[in-house]
Amino acid sequence: MESPQLHCILNSNSVACSFAVGAGFLAFLSCLAFLVLDTQETCIADTRFKTAFQLLDFILADIPGLPGIPGPPK
Q: Say if residue 70 is exposed, middle or buried (CB neighbours under 10 Å; 0-12, 13-18, 19+).
A: exposed
Q: 57 in a domain, yes or no?
A: yes
Q: 7 in a domain, yes or no?
A: no
**Total-model pTM:** 0.58
- pLDDT value of residue 19: 83
Q: 56 in a domain, yes or no?
A: yes
Alpha-carbon gap, residue 64 to 54, rounded angstroms: 18
Q: Is the predicted pLDDT of residue 1 greater than 60, yes or no?
A: no
Q: 48 in a domain, yes or no?
A: yes
- pLDDT value of residue 30: 84
Q: 73 in a domain, yes or no?
A: no
Please tell me the total count of domains within the chain: 1
Select the more confidently predicted residue: 20 or 32. 32
- pLDDT value of residue 68: 56
The string of pLDDT tens digits covering residues 50-67 is 888 888 877 777 665 555
